[in-house]
Amino acid sequence: MSGDGETGGGAHVQIGSITGGSQAFGSHGKAESTNHTVVVSDPGQQHLLTQVRALRGELRRAPERTADDDALDAELAEVEREIGRAGHGDSGLLARLRARLEQYGAAAATAASVTAVLQAIAQVTG
């Protein structure tokens, strides 16, 4: 027996990759999806959000994470959530992040991103 897709009488599904969306399988399968889109109207806040995400990405790719890296990532995540929720970063939260970044002994790999976040904070806080 030969032929494209033949499995010898049974069903066969092969999935290489699924990204986004929802999938359900079987006779009673049910898929639900909730999507959240962050719309930030202020260009300065959008720039800050972009820089925060870039720095978080660099921290995740670091070969060895320190306690300082984890603390910085937590602060960045909080700012990211706040901008996503309210459309802007809370001034107190941004001040704490700025202080942490100024004290952070950034490795050469993240130094440019740390500087970019500091500049973006300066733009939105005046």
Residue-level pLDDT, tens digit, the chain, 126 residues: 444 445 566 666 666 666 666 777 777 777 776 655 556 778 999 999 999 999 999 888 888 888 888 999 999 999 999 998 889 999 999 999 999 888 876 665 577 788 889 899 999 987
Report pLDDT for 1: 43
52 C-beta neighbours (distance < 10 Å), count: 24
User: Residue 34 and residue 1: Cα distance in Å, rounded?
Assistant: 44
Contact 79, 93 (CB under 8 A): yes
| Tokens 């002994």 belong to residue | 105
Residues 6+ positions from 54 with CB-CB distance below 8 Å: 113, 116
User: Residue 74 and residue 67: Cα distance in Å, rounded?
Assistant: 11
Given 3-state DSSP classes, what are the helix, strand and coil percentages for the chain, each rounded to the nearest 5? 55, 0, 45
Instruction: Read off the pTM.
Output: 0.63
User: Residue 56 and residue 54: Cα distance in Å, rounded?
Assistant: 5
Report pLDDT for 18: 65
The torsion angle over the Cα atoms of residues 38, 44, 47 and 53, rounded to 10 degrees, is -60
